[in-house]
């Protein structure tokens, strides 16, 4: 059974505490009732908040989504009957209140009083008394409720590990020795990894800058560009951030460019490129490469432009569908990075809404899309060229099984062993099956990267 005290998001007072709590409730409603992603919902709900208020609302929303079944179970034992749809936002406000009382370092009187006040901001003043009564009841009955909850968690993996049943079954089948560690890692706040721009600083030199600035940081022993910040900080205040010296990117994601080994003069495609972190990393390693960044989402391509501008790098940015050929100019590529659309089950600790928005049926739909994109991009590759298939998934259907099916049906495609000196401590599969990286598979590796899969393909010269 997992420890209920798992959050390490920022705990801070808010200048307008009721407004922050109301925003958290609205964000949760957008995610859980209307199917919006948390990255879309939070900016919309917290639009009128200042920085510290926004951070507090974000901390609450993330923690509620990390432990949603627990809070829902508690609320089901505190409410006499479910709230009607027209006042459903108060249901999410109650989750916000329970989160503060149970898992955040917020004084109980403030958690209750400001949650009650938030009901008025949510245009539900008539339910202020009910909010007060429910949260005070939890205060009174907390010991008994938590004892009963612990007994229920012993019976229910969904309640114990705060993951939906379909995902638990897939993880248990794929990783019988690691599924519990994966779930525990998914419910933690993620570490903050930096990628040093090799065109501006060596990693050692930038590490010295961080330490001189009083920022506790360590170099990763497996990924040559990665630095781990021991404490979260405002990244815009990092030394030379605005000049492009460093970017925020998870360690596992940083492996992509190193595995692809880009070379100056090569024509390289980053398919499904937005928001552009891997595009930029390719250019940091090979600034004279001719890089094309492709993505179908025009709005997300704006992020690619912004990242390239800050990092002082140049690429051709194209809005197009990687599963089609109508964007292509007819010139083949020396190398392709295919960061395929996927379930994102490897980055749940960064996006806990994935657990509740994704459905089991989505996996087969995604695998068909991946298959289509992989077949299309293979045709864009020169004979003798290399294609790196990547996902931020930890499900074999999207990864090893996808590649096995491709190799079995496509002539001229061969798997290449990834350089062993890049290998990470949390590597699960053998090199012949590609790299399957998992988030924090053991207590010794709590500062690991996210869950990622990599497989390097080469097209035979006579293909």
Q: What is the pLDDT of residue 57?
A: 97
Asked whether residue 257 falls in the same domain as residue 388, the answer is yes
pTM of the full structure: 0.92
Quote the CA–CA distance of 456 and 36 in Å, as a whole number. Answer: 34
Asked whether residue 439 falls in the same domain as residue 374, the answer is yes
Asked whether residue 34 falls in the same domain as residue 99, the answer is yes
Quote the CA–CA distance of 433 and 427 in Å, as a whole number. Answer: 11
Asked whether residue 302 falls in the same domain as residue 383, the answer is yes
Q: What is the pLDDT of residue 4?
A: 42
Asked whether residue 257 falls in the same domain as residue 225, the answer is no
Asked whether residue 379 falls in the same domain as residue 451, the answer is yes
In a domain, 184, yes or no: no
Cα dihedral across residues 397, 298, 259, 217: positive or negative: negative
Asked whether residue 207 falls in the same domain as residue 298, the answer is no
In a domain, 182, yes or no: no
Asked whether residue 213 falls in the same domain as residue 302, the answer is no
Q: What is the pLDDT of residue 8?
A: 43
Largest CA distance in the chain: 76
- The SS3 of residue 226 is strand
In a domain, 278, yes or no: yes
Asked whether residue 133 falls in the same domain as residue 196, the answer is no
pLDDT by 10s per residue, the chain, length 463 = 444 444 444 444 445 799 999 999 999 999 999 999 999 999 999 999 988 999 999 999 999 999 999 999 999 999 999 999 999 999 999 999 999 999 998 999 999 999 999 999 999 999 999 999 999 999 999 999 999 999 999 999 999 999 999 999 999 999 999 999 999 999 999 999 999 999 999 999 999 999 999 999 999 988 999 999 988 889 999 999 999 999 999 999 999 999 999 999 999 999 999 999 999 999 999 999 999 999 999 999 999 999 999 999 999 999 999 999 999 999 999 999 999 999 999 999 999 999 999 999 999 999 999 999 999 999 999 999 999 999 999 999 999 999 999 999 999 999 998 876 665 555 555 556 789 999 875 545 456 899 999 999 999 987 5
Quote the CA–CA distance of 161 and 304 in Å, as a whole number. Answer: 36
Instruction: State the CATH number of the domain containing residue 419.
Output: 3.40.50.150
Structure tokens at 190: 């993620």
Residue where a domain stops, chosen among 245, 276, 306? 245
Q: Which residue in this structure is represented by tokens 């170099």? A: 219
Count other Cβ atoms within 10 Å, centred on residue 82: 10
Asked whether residue 59 falls in the same domain as residue 199, the answer is no
Spatial contact of 53 and 46, defined as CB atoms under 8 Å apart? yes
Residue where a domain stops, chosen among 229, 245, 261? 245
Instruction: State the CATH number of the domain containing residue 203.
Output: 3.30.70.1170
Q: What is the pLDDT of residue 10?
A: 44
Quote the CA–CA distance of 118 and 108 in Å, as a whole number. Answer: 15
Structure tokens at 233: 């900080």
Count how many domains the chain has.
3
Reported in sequence order, the residue ranges of 207-315 that DSSP labels E, i.e. its strands, are 217-219, 226-229, 246-248, 267-271, 290-295
Quote the CA–CA distance of 187 and 220 in Å, as a whole number. Answer: 23
In a domain, 187, yes or no: no
Residue where a domain stops, chosen among 222, 245, 268? 245
Quote the CA–CA distance of 52 and 16 in Å, as a whole number. Answer: 9
Query: Of residues 183, 272, 342, 392, which has the active-site annotation?
Result: 392
Strand order through the sheet with 192-196: 217-219, 226-229, 192-196, 246-248
In a domain, 170, yes or no: no
In a domain, 176, yes or no: no
In a domain, 204, yes or no: yes
Asked whether residue 293 falls in the same domain as residue 207, the answer is no
Q: What is the pLDDT of residue 45?
A: 97
Asked whether residue 290 falls in the same domain as residue 225, the answer is no
In a domain, 174, yes or no: no
Domain extent, residue 89, equals 17-156
Active site residue 392: yes
User: Whose CA is closest to 87, among 132, 47, 119, 44?
Assistant: 119
Instruction: State the CATH number of the domain containing residue 111.
Output: 1.10.940.10
Helix 38-45 / helix 17-32 crossing angle, nearest 10 deg: 140
Quote the CA–CA distance of 144 and 377 in Å, as a whole number. Answer: 58
């Amino acid at each position: 059974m997992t420890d209920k005290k798992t959050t390490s998001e920022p705990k801070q007072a808010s200048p307008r505490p009721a407004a922050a709590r109301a925003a958290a409730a609205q964000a949760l409603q957008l995610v859980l009732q209307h199917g919006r992603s948390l990255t879309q919902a939070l900016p919309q709900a917290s639009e009128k908040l200042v920085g510290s208020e926004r951070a507090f609302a974000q901390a609450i929303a993330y923690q509620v989504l990390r432990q949603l079944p627990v809070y829902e179970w508690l609320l089901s034992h505190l409410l006499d009957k479910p709230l009607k749809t027209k006042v459903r936002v108060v249901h999410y406000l109650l989750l916000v209140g329970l989160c503060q009382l149970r898992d955040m370092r917020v004084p109980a009187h403030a958690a209750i009083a400001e949650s009650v006040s938030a009901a008025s901001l949510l245009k539900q003043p008539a339910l202020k008394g009910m909010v007060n009564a429910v949260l005070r009841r939890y205060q009174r009955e907390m010991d008994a409720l938590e004892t009963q909850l612990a007994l229920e968690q012993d019976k229910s993996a969904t309640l114990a590990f705060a993951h939906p049943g379909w995902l638990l079954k897939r993880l248990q089948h794929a990783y019988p020795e690691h599924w519990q560690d994966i779930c525990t890692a998914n419910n933690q706040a993620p570490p903050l990894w930096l990628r040093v721009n090799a065109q501006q600083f060596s990693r050692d030199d930038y590490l010295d800058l961080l330490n001189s600035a009083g920022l506790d940081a360590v170099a990763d022993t497996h990924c040559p560009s990665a630095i781990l910040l021991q404490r979260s900080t405002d990244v815009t205040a990092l030394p030379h951030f605005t000049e492009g010296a460093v970017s925020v990117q998870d360690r596992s994601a940083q492996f992509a460019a190193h595995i692809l080994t880009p070379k100056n003069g090569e024509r390289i495609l980053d398919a499904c490129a937005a928001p552009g972190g891997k595009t930029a990393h390719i250019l940091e390693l090979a600034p004279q490469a001719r890089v094309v960044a492709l993505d179908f989402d025009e709005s997300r391509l704006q992020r690619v432009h912004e990242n390239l501008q800050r990092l002082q790098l140049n690429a051709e940015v194209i809005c197009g569908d990687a599963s089609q050929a109508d964007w292509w100019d007819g010139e083949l590529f020396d190398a392709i990075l295919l960061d395929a659309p996927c379930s994102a089950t490897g980055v749940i600790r960064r996006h806990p809404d994935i657990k509740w928005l994704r459905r089991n049926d989505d996996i087969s739909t995604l695998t068909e899309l991946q298959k289509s994109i992989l077949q299309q991009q293979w045709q864009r590759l020169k004979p003798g060229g290399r294609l790196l298939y990547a996902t931020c998934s930890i499900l074999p259907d999207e990864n090893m099984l996808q590649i096995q099916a491709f190799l079995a049906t496509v002539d001229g495609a061969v798997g290449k062993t990834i350089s062993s000196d890049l290998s990470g401590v949390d590597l699960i599969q053998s090199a012949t099956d590609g790299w399957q990286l998992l988030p924090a598979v053991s207590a010794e590796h709590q500062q690991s990267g996210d869950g990622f899969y990599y497989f390097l393909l080469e097209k035979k010269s006579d293909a």
